[in-house]
Amino acid sequence: MNDDLFDTGLKVRKAVLGEAFVEKSLASADEFSMPMQRLVTEYCWGAVWGREELPLKIRSMLNLAMLSTLNRPHEFKTHLKGALTNGVTKAEVREILLQVAIYAGVPAGVDAFRNARETFAELEKA
């Protein structure tokens, strides 16, 4: 593993998802799952999210569209919180999800809207 990419990834991951979330993910990893945590932190967050060619806000917007299309509600909700941290507005989320409904199918859009509403409601309670 590349420690420089891991360090970069850890910094970006904490900035987007929150230090508490990342620390909990790492602390709960065991011998079996820690290699996945390192892989995600190094390659996803370090090698890609750590690049400067796209701002974090745009990367978040792309992730919301892709995770909706792939029907990954857990990751979608996590990345929706990160997208809000990165400056994506609720109105922009709505537009992303409308785009998903047209290009990935209405069922994907409906699910994404439901997941977004659940996440917004959870955040309002906090």
Q: Which of 34, 53, 72 is the last residue of a domain?
A: 53
Nearest CA among 112, 110, 106, 22 for reference residue 66: 112
Distances in Å between the Cα of 98 and the Cα atoms of 14, 56, 105 are 29, 21, 10
Read off the pLDDT of residues 8-56 as tens digits, 9 standing for 90 and up: 999 999 999 999 999 999 999 999 999 999 999 999 999 999 999 999 9
Residues 111/71, Cβ–Cβ less than 8 Å = yes
Q: Do 47 and 64 belong to one domain?
A: no
Same domain, residue pair 60 and 42: no
Determine the pLDDT at residue 74. 97
CA distance 57 to 63: 10
Q: Indicate yes or no: pTM above 0.85.
A: yes
For the domain that residue 117 is a member of, what is the CATH number?
Answer: 1.20.1290.10
Task: State yes or no: pLDDT of 2 exceeds 80.
Answer: no
When pLDDT is averaged across residues 92-114 and rounded to a whole number, the result is 98
Considering the domain architecture, whether residues 35 and 61 belong to the same structural domain is answered as no
Domain that holds residue 33: 1-53
Q: pLDDT value at position 1? A: 64
Where does residue 43 fall: left (phi above 0), alpha (psi -120 to 50 degrees), or beta otherwise? alpha
Among 35, 53, 71, the domain boundary falls at 53
